[in-house]
Structure 1
Amino acid sequence: MNIQIFGTKKCFDTKKAIRYFKERGIKTQFIDLKEKGLSKGELTSIKQAIGGLDNLIDTNAKDKDTLALLQYIVPENKEEKLLENQHILKTPIVRNGKKATIGYAPDTWKTWE
């Protein structure tokens, strides 16, 4: 199993996800979205695993201007805008190969073990 956890150090659910895998002795790679964001390939892979780009967007994010812009932007440009503004992604994004989850999802992670 190759677990990657994308999130921020301040995110409570990201901390819970890291702890979940650590308690089970599963090695993870933590990627802080504030320091190093998702690549275009990673975003595409996650988007396919979770059923679309809209599922990745945190509608409660503080950046209301970017959220409003994403509602009206043409779908072709939405992915590019998300890559530029990764602070509006829901976290944690947990990836295991082609599988991915958003948020704290231990029920799904159990099926990966």
Structure 2
Amino acid sequence: MAVVQIFGVKGSQATRAAERFFKERRIDIQLIDLKVKPMAAGEIRRFIQRFGLTGLLDTESKAYVDAGLKYIQQSETQLLARIEKEPKLLRLPLVRCGQTVCIGQDDAGWKAIASGA
């Protein structure tokens, strides 16, 4: 059985929801707290390939607004550097199992992962 990786922040309600969802179904998870350990560039690219960089950003979050990103144009490299420093800019959690990836609170995606895990 594959292990589900959950990239999130411990204090995030959505991250806790993903953790609870998979634990209730007795699926092994690996929780990566992005405040403690940033995502590897390869992992970020996997999500970007599927959703695009702007799809990963939580444009409604306080962190996004406070960073002024609604008004500042930045290159993809600059945005990636900011994401590494401030994971709350992302739509958390980022969930991965094998080649399947989901962002945010995606119940349908989580169910698809659970059925294949």
Scaled by the length of structure 1, the TM-score of the pair is 0.84
* Aligned residue in 2 for 1:94: 95
2: CA distance, partners of 1:7 / 1:70: 26
Contact preservation (8 Å) 1:59, 1:67: no
Task: Find the residue that maps to 1:72 and give its secondary structure.
Answer: coil
What is the correspondence of 1:57-76 to structure 2 with a 5 Å cutoff? 57-63=57-63, 64-68=65-69, 71-76=72-77
Scaled by the length of structure 2, what TM-score is found? 0.82
Q: What RMSD in Å do the two structures reach over aligned CA positions?
A: 2.0
- Within a 5 Å distance, the mapping from 1:30-41 to structure 2 comes to 30-41=31-42
Between the aligned partners of 2:68 and 2:20, the Cα distance in structure 1 is: 30
CA distance in 2, matches of 1:97, 1:26: 14
Count of residue pairs the alignment pairs up = 112
Structure 2: gaps spanning 5 or more residues: none
Q: Name the CA distance, whole Å, in 2 between partners of 1:68 and 1:108.
A: 28
Structure 1 segments unaligned to the other structure (5+ residues): none
Are the aligned partners of 1:70 and 1:81 in contact in 2 as well (CA < 8 Å)? no
